[in-house]
Amino acid sequence: KNYTFLIHCLANINDDYDYIVIDTPPARDNLTMSALFCADEVLIPVRCDNFSLEGFETTLAMILDLETREDVKIDILGVVLTQVERTAAVNLVRQMFEENPEYASVLFKTGIRKGSAVPESTIAAVPVVRYAKKSNPSVDYMQLWNEIKQRLAKKEADE
């Protein structure tokens, strides 16, 4: 498979934006593989349930497979826990990441709390940070954005 089509499309607009975010499903399809192939950094959202943990492992396997087959380096910027509620499952997932030396450094401190503003904003076709600025998910996304900027700045300084 050739995953360069998206790179050519993005080349036309790269200079117009500081960041381009491509949101894909965790599927092993051409769109997801193309997005991974052309990404400078990958942000992996993980819900605190078994299916998402399996999806996380699948995503890592896709990245490794793509790196091996296409001879590219794909950096994982981080993992963000989503739809977080105050439950034992969240603590178990955090503990799983923190106990694994390979994953501990990629887990963001900020998790995105569950809230009705997210599905409402999706229906309204408005980003949640504009739809309900003071909602828990909006506050979390803004905090995550600050954490992402810090991580990107640190990576840039280290290069």
Backbone angles phi, psi at 155, to 5 degrees: -65, -40
| H helical segments located in 26-135 | 30-38, 50-70, 88-99, 101-104, 117-124, 128-131
Q: How far is CA 29 from the centre of its chain?
A: 17
Instruction: Take residue 129 and report the two structure tokens written for it.
Output: 């940070």
pLDDT of residue 124: 97
Question: Which CATH code is given to the segment(s) 1-108?
Answer: 3.40.50.300
Residues in the chain: 159
Asked if 60 and 68 touch (Cβ cutoff 8 Å), the reply is: no
Ordered by start, the domain boundaries in the chain are 1-108, 114-159
Q: What is the pLDDT along the chain (159 residues), one digit of tens a residue?
A: 577 888 888 999 999 998 899 988 777 888 888 999 889 899 999 887 777 778 888 888 889 988 998 888 999 999 999 988 877 777 888 888 888 877 888 999 999 999 999 999 999 999 999 999 999 999 999 999 999 999 999 988 987
